[in-house]
Amino acid sequence: MIKYSLVVRMVLALLGSVFFFFLFLWNKDIILRMKKEVLSQKDLLKRDIFDYCKTLLISLVSVYLIVHYIFLPVQVKGTSMYPTLEDKALGISNKIGFTLNGLKRFDIVIIHMDDNNNYLVKRIIGLPGETISYKEDKLYINGEYVEEPFFDESYRASSSHPFTTDFEEITLGENEYYCLGDNRPSSRDSRYYGPFQKEQLSSKGVFIFYPFSKFGVKSW
């Protein structure tokens, strides 16, 4: 499970505001040098306040556009994707890449669940039109065995039971995706909710920046 991270939003907003504030100061300095007339202190104060408010507004709008159309800030909750993603990890997910490049097998995706902004983070296993099943801890797609190279094999081998329990064949409809957590024994996913519709998938991939030991891209 993931949620919008207030910390991530604040960091992005702060960085955006600082960037545009310094941009504003740089531009203001150039304009001042180009001015031929001498302005009164009162006029300078009014102009500075106006320019600062304008820069702040541009910064906030820029951050809003980045957060809603380019990157989705996330905070992982729970261990359903462990060890790929740890509980309480902070990062961003790729919205523009999802739109431009589409989805492929084994992409990590962010799934929108309801109107309360609840999300899941899972991995795509089955694509539209495919028939999916698990037998003896192995993935079969359209009757053929498919390896899952993303697994941490040492963690997988530590399970005293089958890491992925068997289930009968399920054929996906148009725009349906079968998504599972990497930590199969502790994940509520398509085995519980059923296939997810394409319109439920909000973004793909996760870039983790905390914890630092996991820093980097987890499928993009």
Q: Which two tokens stand for residue 91?
A: 């990062």
Residues 6+ apart with CB under 8 A from 74: 2, 3, 4, 5, 8, 90, 91, 92, 93, 110, 119, 121, 206
Among candidate residues 5, 80, 187, 190, the one labeled active-site is 80
Is position 80 annotated as part of the catalytic site?
yes
CA distance 152 to 141: 21
Do 177 and 103 contact (CB within 8 A), yes or no? Answer: yes
Is position 122 annotated as part of the catalytic site?
yes
Among candidate residues 5, 59, 93, 122, the one labeled active-site is 122
Residues carrying an active site annotation:
80, 122
